Each structure stands twice: as C-alpha cells, then as structure tokens.
Structure 1
Amino acid sequence: MIRLGLRLAVAGGREAAVRLVVVAVAVALGTGLLLATLAGINATKTQNLRYAWLNTGADPSTTVAVAGVDPVWWLAREDYFHGEQLGRIDVAATGPAAPVPPGIAALPGPGEFYASPALHDLLKTTPAAELGDRFPGREVGVVGDAALPSPDSLLVIVGQPLDALADQPAAAKVSRILTTDPANCSRCVVGLNNTMFTVTLSVIAAALIFPVLIFIGTATRLSAARREQRFAAMRLIGATPRQVSVLATVESTVAAVAGMLLGFGVFVALRPGLAAIPFTGATFFPDDLGLSLVDVLAVGLGIPIGAAVAARLALRRVRISPLGVSRRVTPKPPRAWRVIPLVAGIAELAWFVGRKPETTNGQTFAYIAGAVLIVIGLVLAGPWLTMRAARLVAQRAQRPAALIAGRRLSDDPMAAFRAVSGLVVALFVMTAASGAITSYVAERTTPAGDSVAATSLSQTFWPDSLVPGTPAPSIADIPAGLSAIPGVTAVITVRENLREISGDSHNPQGPGLISCADLARTPEFGRCPSGAATAAVWSDLIGPREPGTTPDERVWPASTITDLGSLRLLSVVVETDGSAAAKERARTALAEMNPWGRFPATEAEWEADSARTLVQFQRLADVVILASLPIAGCSLAVSVIAGLSDRKRPFSVLRLTGVRIRMLRAVVGLESAVPLLVVAAVAIGTGFLAAALFLRAQLDYSLHAPGAGYYLIVAGGLAASLAIIAATLPLLRRITGPETARNE
C-alpha cells in the first residue's frame, strides 16, 4: 500500500502533480516562517546574553577579589549621539593579570580606546568636534562581535590613568567580567530581565507560531474533499479502512516532507532580512539566528507527523462508510454560548477597575487571567461571529455574488474562521499592547520632537559624582566657545539651592536657582512670578510637570535667595536650534568640561531611556502585526485554492449556464475577505477595550489612540493579505472550463 500511495502522490496524473506542488510550496512557506520564528527566539536569547558583560560592576559578585587576578577599575556610563545610546566603559588595569572584556585582545592603556564597528564608521565620517573629541587619545582597535549585542551597537572602551579613574566615586574595582545572563541576574541594569524576557518570548511564540501552525495545517488539507471522493470510490471496490488510511497518510506525508525540506531553504533565504528586524529594539547578527538540534528535529519530524495525523482525521467519514462522502449535510451552526468566555474575560478586567489588587502577584494574576480568558473567548466566538456577519451580508445582499458568499459562509463558518484563527491572538495581543504603551507614554508626557525638551542639553554637576576634595566646576570652566557654536542660541547657568531644598523654607523648592533676568531671555523654559528676582528651578529647567503642559507654560516659584554669586554651579543648560550638529558639538564641549560625570543629554533622550522597554514592546508589536497579517492572508489563500479545487465541477456547471467569471471571483473574494475583516475588527476592538480597562484599573489612565503608524501597519498588513488572496483568483478561469464539467 505504501508503494501505491507513492504512485498516487507522485505519478497520479496532472491533477496529482499540481496538488503535490501546491501543497509542498505552501508547507515550505509555512515551514520557513516557523523556522524563522524559532530562530528569532534563539537570537533574542543570544542577544540578551551578549549584554551580560556590560553589567560588570553592577553585580557585587564581580567586585569580589580573586586570587591571582589583578583588579580593573571600571566605570560604565551612557552617552548619546543623534538620539541613540552610546555605551562607554572607562577602564584602568592594576596589573598585567587583569581580566579583559570580550571582543578585544587586551585592555586599552591611557590615551587608547576600542570602538565598535558602527562607532568606528561614525568616527571616520563625523567631525571630531561632534563626536571624536569625547574620547581621549587614539583608536587602537575595533570591538569584536562577541561583545556587541547588535551590529548597530555604539560602544567604546576607553583606557584611563589608574589614579584618575580610581578616584571617581562611581568607579568599581572588579576582578572578573560578568557572564551571567541578564534574564537570571537580579542586579543587572542592561538587557532584558527574566520578566521582560519571558513576556517577549511569549508574545513572539503566541502571536507568530500559532498563526504559522494554522497555515501549515491548512496547507496539508488542500483538496481534502477531492481526496475523500477518490478514497470513497476505493472503499466501494473493496479497500479496507486501514488501506485507505495508509494511502492518505503516504500521500500527505510525501507533500509535507517535500515542503519541509524546501522550507529550510526558505529560512536560509529569509535569515538576512530577519536579522534586520529589531524584535527587541536592536537588530541581530545573522549568525545569531541559528537553530538548535531540538528545533530542527521538532520541525523536521513534527510537520510530516502532523500532516499524517491530519490526513487520517480528515478521512473519518470514509472509514465509517464508503458512502460517507456522499452523505454530506450542513454542519450544525455555532451557538451563542461561544461568546460567554469573551464576555467573562472583559467582565473580569472591568471588575478590577477601582478594585486593584494590593500585591504585585495579585495584579499579575488578575490581568493575565483576564487577557487569557479573552483570547480563548475570541477563538471560541470567532465562528459564531463569522456566521452572524455572513448572515448579515446575505440579508443585505444587492447582488447574487454577495448572496451566494453569505449563504456559503453561514453554512460552514467553522471552516472559514479556521484559516484566520491565528490572527485573533496576534491582533488582540498587539493592539492591547499598542494601546497600553501609547497611553502610558502619553500620560508621562514624552516631549515632542520639536519641543525645548528635545533641543536643549543639560549638564548637571551633582556633588556625589565629584571627586572628594576637588572643587566643583565653575562658570569660569564653561568652554569659551560654547556659545559661539553655530546653532547654539543660549547658554544658561543654574546655581545650587542648598537652603530651600533642605527644608528651611515652608515651601521647599527645586534643587537649583536662576536669575529671573536670565530666565526672561529664554521664555521657552518658563517665567518667574511678577516682581521676583530669582526663582527655584530644576537643574535641566524642565523637571517634573503637570501632564499635558509644556515647559514654556510653567511659572517657577520665587526664591527667597537673591544673591547667587557665591553659590556653587549646579548645571549648565544649552539651548540649540534643534540641529543635530549643534547638539552634538555642544554635547562634546560639555563632556570635556566634566569628563567624569554623567554625560549631557536632552530631556527627550532621558524620557526615551525611561520608555525604552515600552518602545521595544511597541516595535515587537509592529513586527508581529506585519508578520501575522500576511500569514493569515496566506492561510486564506490556501483555503481559497482548496475551495476552488473542491468546487471545480459546480463552478464549471455555473459557467456553462451563463454565469460570468467575474461573479464567481466576487463570490470567492467575499468568502475570503469577510472572515479576515470580521476577525481583524473584533480583535482590534477587543484589544483596545482590554487596554482601556487595564489602564483604568492599574494606573487610572485613560486610553490614548495609537499614532498613525499603528493604523498604517494594520491597514498595510490587511491590504497585503487581501492582495495575496486576490492573486489566487486568476486560477478560477483555468480550472472551471467546459472540459472540467465534461470530465467530472
């Protein structure tokens, strides 16, 4: 029977050959996407591990003395260039047996530095006054890939004099380079912690693997109805159920194995493009997108086994009776009870509005339980919602195509919904995430790109960052050419407010003081009260403010201290015209003024740091939406091809009776588009509702609509899915000719 099954699959005529090729190609595409998803998960793990060494000094275990090892003085800080993070590690060895970070052959000496490849290229193309002057000495090498989370990482390892670095309060004396995965490190400050890591991988797995598996399952069921008829005929001439099952298994397995092998080639072709997708906010090295032996075996064995099981299950009617295929009846319609879990999940989230659990674990359980219940409810309610939408289309139909499509969908909504069920998970999770992230960032008043918060740099000289016993920078230390830099519109100094901030006043003020005369020259930072000579301000002249307000609307409180001449310099704020060159030249000048402190930055860059994790999830949401919608479109396209193959004879007879091909295409198009659009609309609406309930319950925030980018991504994904479906419609003319009606 196995030999007969192979002959039917490979040498069964033109129809068998076409079926084999179509199934193999569909399975290949699904396999390639599945392998790409698994490789993406592996790359996320590898990338997170590459962050480990950057946490040296933050983990106390690295500062414990090790016999035979000369410690290294280590100072890790964060700089910026054109809004991107630039990691800087200052090092000074205490002896020849000092530990060396990955990616370099030896520690740089004083006046030497190693730059990452991306920074190396920038140094060659960027004026030194904007970037290179921040790094003393000369470049002696390039940091290797082993030390870089991403090919685009901006990183520099700078050698410093031992005495100078050892005197810095923020420097740590380390005896080993940390190798612990940030996911398992409680003290790590760089990389994804365990919670973020688990959430990231869960989102990728749930939102991408599920739709891909649905797609592969749909592909293996191509021409299921035609095969059932053929196998039923075999039963009538004496074939046993066991023999029919073996034939079906062999035929499906051949196509699945061929598609699976081709899928590995698809994955190799996809890998370079996949590496450029910032799942976690950073691109990947192509070599990190690897597959483990378990991944290869799971896919290589799982897809053929799954195809075989699907084939056996699909022939259950034939095994029961040779006439089982002829006795087809309309399936029972889905009942309204399927909506109950969906309503229950929404009600569970609504219950916690005003009743937020007191503990973190309680909050986690409450919100995750509600989200999971909603996902289950969407999957269960999908067929019922598809049926209701189809009946509405049929009731409102003005043309025969809409009537036929509506009736067919309402007769079997389960089959129509099955192809897009994976889309429910992806769209719901990503819409809820987008709504929550957008609202959180909006409530935290992230500065607009053209606001003063994005164009002004501030450099603060906090006392705890200064070497004990050394004088703080003064106004005389401000570079003379700072105000002359093209694009710099103002240089403002802020003095330290020791008395009022300590509580001597009944109204404790901000940590800085400014002359109202100076503030009047820069009204974009706010103004003083009428008649005041000085005002209490924050060091960056922005500080915390009421949501929805801008810095220029602020009225700073008057200060009782009027003599600022004797007070220590707290910060220097540089206002620019917003040009990148002006900001980077000013940043470099300020960094040279205080080379050991925190590097100057704009408020927008600081805000971006605080929201960086959220931005990573937003990018992940965008990627998943862009990937899941075309996958759903491919599933629908395969369903369309299967439906056309199974209905060749009825469509051919309709054409012989005078029905135009245009109407038949409209019928097929509506049957495919209605489930896709209904599922997308319900998933998006439910996602926004869940986000609104979560925000109100957990943070007491209102839902803010995502930006235009979200809608463009969803619209583009839906358009791509519909285009994939449309690409299958020309097949209708070829398979519904008069010869089909005669031959069958």
Structure 2
Amino acid sequence: MSWPQDLTMGAKFAVSGGREGWLRTLLTAVGVGLGVTLLLITTAIPSALAARDARTNNRNDFGTTMVGKAAADTLLLGRSDTTFRGQDVRGRLLHAEGPKAPVPAGIKALPRDGEMLVSPALARLISSDAGKLLRERLPYRVGGTIGDAGLIGPHELAYYAGDDHLSQGDGEDVRRIRAFSDAPSQTPMDPVLALLVVIIFVVLLMPVAVFIAAAVRFGSERRDRRLAALRLVGTDSRMTRRIAAGEALAGALLGVVFGAGFFLLARSFVGDIDVAGVNLFPSDLNPSGWLAALVVVAVPAAAVAVTLFALRGVVIEPLGVVRTSTPRRRRLWWRVLPPVAGLGLLYPMMGQGLYGGGFNQAAVISGTVLLLIGVTMLLPWLVESVVNRLGGGSTAWQLAVRGLQMSSGTAARLVNGIAVAVAGAIALQMLFTGIDGDYTQRTGADTSRAQVTVQAPHSGSAVTSALRRTDGVGKALSLDKVTVSAGKSAEDSVSAGAFIDADVGDCAALRELATITSCADGDAFVVEGGWNQNVYRIAKPGHRLWLSSPLGDDTSRPLAWALPADTRTAEVRTDPTGNPGEGGIFITPGALPTAKVPAMTTMIYVSLDPNVPDAVDRVRNTVARTSPLFEVDALQEVRVDNRFGSVRRGLYIGAAAVLLLIGASLLVSVLEQLRDRAKLLAALTAFGTRRSTMSWSVLWQTAIPVALGLALATAVGLGMGSILLRMVGHSVSFDWMAVAMMTGIGAGVVLLVTLLSLPPLWRLMRPEGLRTE
C-alpha cells in the first residue's frame, strides 16, 4: 500500500475505534487545538499592531504641520489630555475656522461649542458612580460617540469637545492645522530592545511546540498494542508506522479545526480583556493569510514527524510490543549537542550590545531554540537516571516511583513544557533586570516636597487660590516667571549677555528653589550656583534691567526696573521636580515695579493630604475649571522608557496566554494519563488500596519529574540569562527572588492541575472499572 492509503487507514482507525478511540482522538485534538490557538494569536499580532498603528496615524496631530493664518480649511486644536485614577484620558478641544476644516477619524462632524463626542468606554465611565469626579472635569454635554476608527482600543478613554473660544494665545498646546494623519517619523528600535522582542517570541512559542508534540502522542501505549494486532493480520513494520502516523494526522487535523474554533471564540472576547493597559478590537486580531496557512500545514506535518520519530526505537511484532520489556538506558552524549551548538551560535555576539550594532536574528533565534531544546532532551535522561536510584518508602511513594521507572519518558513529556517555559522565563527575567537601568531612570523628583505640579501659560493667581481651597490640597506654592535682560531690545540683550529668568513669589515659594534664610515681602535675591552663567553678568544690584514676557508676546512692551541696591545673594536649590536650578533673580511681589508687569507664566507646586482619597483628581478638576489646557503632572520618582514599557507589557500578555495554555494542556495530559491507567487504578482499589494512598501516589508521580524539570530549567535559564546579559554588554547578576518566583509559578501551575485531576481520579478508582465488553 502507498503512503496516502496507509495514512487514510490510520485516520479511519482514529475515528472508528468506538468510544475509546473517539476519546483518545478528542484528547489529542484538544491538546493540539490549544497550541494552534496560541500560534494563530501569535500570527495575528503583526496585523493587530499594524491596525492599531494605522488608527493612531489617522488621528495623529503631533506630527502635523502648523498653519500661520486662519483659512476656510483650518482647525484650531488644543490638547487637553488628563488622567483619572491612573488611567490616561485623551482630550482634544476643536474650533473650526472655516467650513472645510478637517474632521478627525472616528467622527462624522466636528462637535458644536460646548458639546463633546466621547469614546464608548468614557461614556460608560462618566455615566457611572465611579466616574463622578471625572464628569465634573468635563463640563460639556455628550453629543455622540467616537467610532472605532478614531480609537486605539475599545477601552480607550477619549473625547473631542467643541470650543469656539479657543485661540492660539491659550498656550503651546494649541495649534492651527489643515489635516490629520501626518505621521511623525518613527525612530528605529534599538538593537537591545529588538533582541529582547526576538527572545520573547522564541520563549513564548517554544512551550507551544513542546505541548503540540506531546499532544500527538496521547494514548501511545494503547496505540502500539493495536498496531501489534495489525501486524498479526499481515501488515509489515513500515506500513504499521504509516498507519500510526495517519492516526496522529487525524487527531492533528481535528486539532487544527478545534484551534480555529478556539481562536474565533477567544477573539470574540478580546475587546473585554485588558492586560497591562493594552486592549484590542476583535477585528484587529486577524492572522496573516500565509502565516495561518503555514500553521495549518506545519502542525499536521509535525504530528506525522513526531509519531515516526517516537516509533523509531519501538519494535512492533504480531505478538506484542518490545517496548514493554526493560528499555535500553538513555545516553547522555548526544543530548548535550543541541545546547552546545546553541552556545556556539550565541558566543560570537558577546558584548555586541556595547557598540550599538544589530544582532544576527537568525543566529539569536537558532541559538535560543537549541538551548531550550536541550531542556527537552536532557530531562528524560535526568528523570530516568534519578528515578532508577530511588528506593523504598511509603506505599504511595513506591507506587509513584515504580510507575515512573516503568514510563519515565511519559512523565518527562508531561513536564517538558513547564520546564521550557520556566527556563525561558528565568532567562528573560534576568535580561529584563539587567537592562532595566538602561530604560528606567530616576527623575530626581522629591515627592516629599510636592506631589503635583501645575504649569499655566499665563499668570495663575486665580488657579492658585482655587487650589488652596481644594479638598485634599495641603499647600500650593506659586512661582511666576518673567524674563530679565540688560538691554531693552532683543539685539541689545544679546550683546549685553542674553537673558536670565526671574521668579516671582512669596517667601515660602522662593525657598523651594533657593536656600534663603531671612525673607520678607519687598526683598529681592540674586541666586547663584545654577547652570545659567549669565546671572553674574546681568544681575548686578542697582543696575537698570528690563522685564519682558517669557511667552514671546510682541504686544507686551519691556518694562524698566532697577534691581534694588540691597539685594542679597542666595544659593540655588534643586526644585521638587528634580531639575537642577538655573539660578537668576528671585523677587517677592513687593519688590516689583508699580507699573503693569508683562505677562508671566506660572508654575505651581502642590502638596497633597494623603488622607484624602482622589486628591490628585480633585486637583485636576480645580485646574480644569480654570482651563483644560493647563498642564497637570503627578510627580514620579522613576520614569520608564515607553518602548521598554510596551515590550514588557507585551511579555505580560504573552506570558498570561502561555500560562493558560500550559495549565489547560497539562490538565488534558494528566486526564489522558489517568484514562490510560484506569484499569490499573480500578484493580488496586479492588484489592483494598485506600483512596488517600492513590491520591498521594498521583501527586508524587507528578511532583518528582516536576522537581527535576524545574531544577534543570533553573540551571538552563540561569545559563541562558547569563549569555544574554553578556551579549548586551552587562555584567552577570542573579536575582534569586525572581528565580524563585518563576520556579514557584511553574510549580503552582502543576499543583493546581494536580488538584483539578483528583475528582476524575476518584471516579476511576472504582472496582466497576474492571468491567469490559
């Protein structure tokens, strides 16, 4: 018979073997289907990111070209972004200057004055009790919703509000544009982050491949006994192996169908899932055609290859299977070749990250895969070597050890996926920890002095007074800024030594930026020690100076002012945001000239009462009542690079998916193992073995290979992490707490699966299980 005929006969056996055959095929299909689901999700990631980026570019207003004069096709746009309880809220104020003004993506027409169009998520939030504070911040009537084309995800909080009073004099966040979708230039990802992304994909997909390979071997011992019966009726050894491959092919093809169904089901719930702040529309998760076709072809082909590989050392004769006798001990020498080859591929790239050059992605992928494959090859040898040396103990222990000694390969296959996942997770954790300092920097902000800053493009005396009356505000210190020069005109100022800044505020506010001892209203100070060396040329007591607006307002004429002769000096101090002091002239209000001072900008440092809930949001509400364009920043002591943060969030999403796959596939594997030993369990129960003894034996039979697998995974993970750190040019350091956490998560998944398998185990432990037809 030919290959097609033999494969077809095997497929018929897979679906026509009665209840037991269908159950075996179903378990294989479910195991393969779970792996196919994750593979399809992975192939859909590029299209999902592309769709997300396209929507971002279509509504982009950061890279747009500003227009100087109003026209029929211009739009005034003000950015009024805010934050509510840690969630970003994207806000835009719009004012059409003509009938042909551009309209942002996702809306059909610009909102009228006092009206806002909101995202569905924002509409739900502001209509609920939880969004009451945010609703107070948005004093507009809701006139409609923003469509999917104008949002990056279904959970995004965003709004467009009409404001006919908007003008370019409201500050830098207001600009005049003619069109959206002028995408900003994208800086290429640096080589270290690119390496990190490649490693993440390899580490997350390797366990999937391992689980698929294990799933196609479900029921392998019973299958081999059936194949012996085929030999009895006249098939030769090659034909028998092809029939076995046909059985695996049928389960794999059904698994592909299951995987497609699981994928469609998971995709329908994508819009309800938010992991690490990232969410997608279901339509975004659309696998690339050729990648999906590759999965559909590769998985069944791999099923056939794995089956033929598994049968290479099995002699199937008409009267039985030789594998049931004592197997030959596994050899170690060839099992260390893949990890050694992986090291050989990665070693030439040691220290390459120091020079900013790119890494050879093919070599990185191949080397990492070979290292992780080494785990799957070394684990069967390790389990066999250890369990063959284990001796007596309790009845449960002896049952578990004897079961492992008879089928250590099956136990190793059960744990391989966990071991690969943990090894990869440890390596990734080491790499993340090692390069964290490169992408995470301390801002220098002192949150004990202030927790929030407010920047107003014009004098903020009104908002300062309002903040001091706000519930949750301990104090609000306001500093106005004016430009001081030695010459009346810009040309004179440049020739005289350029400009310096002068800060105007009460004594308490001035002390935040300088070490001032005695201070009273009417005093002025020359603050030295800052980075602006022009202070020593311009700030001379008794000399006439010129005050002008820092806004560059041509309508505001410079004002003559003499620096008081009794002006004292003070040393500069780092401000609460962590910025080094500029130095300059500090002025109390009483020292200013009586004439009208040019327009000034304002910085307000706000200290909050930690006992008042939502104090930051109350501050934002107060500021928004004055102007939604004022910039409010909550001070943070640590800032994370956006791309590094995005990669880390992507890892969390992928890790969550892989953990779900690990748990589900492992549970299916355990159930298949229990079903394969149903008659043995029933026989032991019939002879009086206690249920607790059987339960403990199952636990030990799982725990021993898991412990060995996690030990091997820890060793390989630490080695792989050390190599990756050396590749990016960092010294090797071990975060033992993180290693323990990764290992504990793997052990926790196995423990949970074991507990879930106890109810089926108890149902199988009945003497009725010895019945046969």
TM-score in same-fold range (> 0.5)? yes
What is the CA distance between 1:483 and its match in structure 2? 0.4
Structure 2 partner of 1:601: 633
Report the more deviating stretch, 113-122 or 529-538.
Answer: 529-538
What is the CA distance between 1:509 and its match in structure 2? 12
- After superposition, the Cα gap between the structure-2 partners of 1:351 and 1:144, relative to the gap in structure 1 and judged at 3 Å, is same
Residue type of the partner of 1:231? L
Cα contact 2:270–2:281 (8 A) shared by 1: no
Q: Is residue 587 from structure 1 mapped to residue 592 from structure 2 by the alignment? A: no
- Which of 639, 644, 655 lines up with 1:625 in the alignment? 655
Structure 1 partner of 2:565: none
- Give the distance between the partners of 1:187 and 1:174, measured in 2 at CA: 21
- Which of 676, 686, 692 lines up with 2:706 in the alignment? 676
Tell me the secondary structure at the aligned position of residue 266 of structure 1: helix
Cα contact 2:64–2:182 (8 A) shared by 1: no
Structure 2 partner of 1:98: 101
Cα contact 1:493–1:514 (8 A) shared by 2: yes
The C-alpha deviation readout for 1:102-124, integer Å capped at 9, x for no partner, is 11011234444322222233444
In our comparison, the structure showing a higher alpha carbon Rg is 2
Cα contact 1:510–1:537 (8 A) shared by 2: no
Cα contact 1:92–1:159 (8 A) shared by 2: yes
Residue type of the partner of 1:627? A
Structure 1 partner of 2:451: 456
Structure 2 partner of 1:489: 474
What is the CA distance between 1:492 and its match in structure 2? 0.8
- Give the distance between the partners of 2:402 and 2:710, measured in 1 at CA: 21
- Which of 422, 425, 432 lines up with 1:427 in the alignment? 422
Question: How many residues of Structure 1 are paired with residues of Structure 2 in the alignment?
Answer: 696
Contiguous gaps of at least 5 residues in structure 2: 486-492, 520-524, 526-569
RMSD of equivalent CA atoms? 5.3
Cα contact 1:215–1:634 (8 A) shared by 2: no
What are the residue-to-residue correspondences of 1:248-397 with 2, within 5 Å? 248-279=244-275, 281-291=277-287, 293-294=289-290, 297-300=293-296, 302-316=298-312, 325-326=321-322, 330-335=327-332, 338=335, 358-361=354-357, 364=359, 373=367, 376-384=370-378, 387-388=381-382, 391-392=385-386, 395=389
Report the more deviating stretch, 479-488 or 678-687.
Answer: 678-687
What is the CA distance between 1:600 and its match in structure 2? 0.8
What is the CA distance between 1:711 and its match in structure 2? 7.1
Structure 2 partner of 1:719: 748
Cα contact 2:276–2:649 (8 A) shared by 1: yes
Structure 1 partner of 2:231: 235
Cα contact 2:94–2:110 (8 A) shared by 1: yes
Cα contact 1:275–1:289 (8 A) shared by 2: no
Q: Is residue 164 from structure 1 mapped to residue 167 from structure 2 by the alignment? A: yes
Q: Is residue 212 from structure 1 mapped to residue 208 from structure 2 by the alignment? A: yes
What is the CA distance between 1:142 and its match in structure 2? 1.6
- After superposition, the Cα gap between the structure-2 partners of 1:538 and 1:347, relative to the gap in structure 1 and judged at 3 Å, is farther
- Which of 140, 143, 157 lines up with 2:143 in the alignment? 140
Tell me the secondary structure at the aligned position of residue 151 of structure 1: coil
What is the CA distance between 1:489 and its match in structure 2? 0.5
Report the more deviating stretch, 296-305 or 511-520.
Answer: 511-520
- Give the distance between the partners of 1:372 and 1:526, measured in 2 at CA: 56
- After superposition, the Cα gap between the structure-2 partners of 1:694 and 1:208, relative to the gap in structure 1 and judged at 3 Å, is closer
What is the CA distance between 1:635 and its match in structure 2? 4.2
Structure 2 partner of 1:542: 577
Q: Is residue 575 from structure 1 mapped to residue 581 from structure 2 by the alignment? A: no
Structure 2 partner of 1:149: 152
Residue type of the partner of 1:145? D
| TM-score between the two structures when normalised by the length of structure 2 | 0.72
| TM-score between the two structures when normalised by the length of structure 1 | 0.74
Residue type of the partner of 2:622? A
- After superposition, the Cα gap between the structure-2 partners of 1:603 and 1:111, relative to the gap in structure 1 and judged at 3 Å, is same
What is the CA distance between 1:491 and its match in structure 2? 0.7
The C-alpha deviation readout for 1:523-573, integer Å capped at 9, x for no partner, is xx799487798553455x23159xxxxxxxxxx89x684544449554111
Cα contact 1:74–1:174 (8 A) shared by 2: yes
The C-alpha deviation readout for 1:58-83, integer Å capped at 9, x for no partner, is 166x9899xx9934344546422222
- After superposition, the Cα gap between the structure-2 partners of 1:374 and 1:338, relative to the gap in structure 1 and judged at 3 Å, is farther
Structure 2 partner of 1:552: none
What is the CA distance between 1:57 and its match in structure 2? 4.0
Residue type of the partner of 2:650? L
- Give the distance between the partners of 1:584 and 1:668, measured in 2 at CA: 54
Residue type of the partner of 1:601? D
- Give the distance between the partners of 1:69 and 1:575, measured in 2 at CA: 46
Give percent identity, aligned residues only: 26
Residue type of the partner of 2:185? S
Q: Is residue 49 from structure 1 mapped to residue 54 from structure 2 by the alignment? A: yes
Structure 1 partner of 2:551: none
What is the CA distance between 1:295 and its match in structure 2? 5.9
Cα contact 1:114–1:140 (8 A) shared by 2: yes
What is the CA distance between 1:203 and its match in structure 2? 6.2
- After superposition, the Cα gap between the structure-2 partners of 1:391 and 1:93, relative to the gap in structure 1 and judged at 3 Å, is same
Residue type of the partner of 1:213? A
What is the CA distance between 1:11 and its match in structure 2? 3.9
Tell me the secondary structure at the aligned position of residue 108 of structure 2: coil
What are the residue-to-residue correspondences of 1:634-649 with 2, within 5 Å? 634-641=664-671, 643=673
- Give the distance between the partners of 1:350 and 1:308, measured in 2 at CA: 34
Cα contact 1:93–1:162 (8 A) shared by 2: no
- After superposition, the Cα gap between the structure-2 partners of 1:627 and 1:657, relative to the gap in structure 1 and judged at 3 Å, is same
Cα contact 1:334–1:383 (8 A) shared by 2: no
Tell me the secondary structure at the aligned position of residue 89 of structure 1: strand
- Give the distance between the partners of 2:133 and 2:766, measured in 1 at CA: 70
Cα contact 2:256–2:296 (8 A) shared by 1: yes
Tell me the secondary structure at the aligned position of residue 481 of structure 1: helix
Residue type of the partner of 1:221? R
- After superposition, the Cα gap between the structure-2 partners of 1:45 and 1:661, relative to the gap in structure 1 and judged at 3 Å, is farther
- Give the distance between the partners of 2:137 and 2:660, measured in 1 at CA: 46
What is the CA distance between 1:229 and its match in structure 2? 2.4
Cα contact 1:648–1:735 (8 A) shared by 2: yes
Tell me the secondary structure at the aligned position of residue 51 of structure 2: helix
Tell me the secondary structure at the aligned position of residue 468 of structure 2: coil
- Give the distance between the partners of 2:501 and 2:435, measured in 1 at CA: 26
Considering fraction of residues, name the structure with more strand.
2
- After superposition, the Cα gap between the structure-2 partners of 1:438 and 1:600, relative to the gap in structure 1 and judged at 3 Å, is farther
Report the more deviating stretch, 240-249 or 136-145.
Answer: 240-249
- Give the distance between the partners of 1:155 and 1:433, measured in 2 at CA: 35
- After superposition, the Cα gap between the structure-2 partners of 1:727 and 1:88, relative to the gap in structure 1 and judged at 3 Å, is closer
Structure 1 partner of 2:540: none
What is the CA distance between 1:100 and its match in structure 2? 1.9
What is the CA distance between 1:319 and its match in structure 2? 8.3
Residue type of the partner of 1:480? S
Structure 1 partner of 2:27: 22
What is the CA distance between 1:722 and its match in structure 2? 2.7
- After superposition, the Cα gap between the structure-2 partners of 1:699 and 1:581, relative to the gap in structure 1 and judged at 3 Å, is farther
The C-alpha deviation readout for 1:235-264, integer Å capped at 9, x for no partner, is 233224565355434433443444443444
- Give the distance between the partners of 2:734 and 2:478, measured in 1 at CA: 37
Cα contact 1:629–1:721 (8 A) shared by 2: no
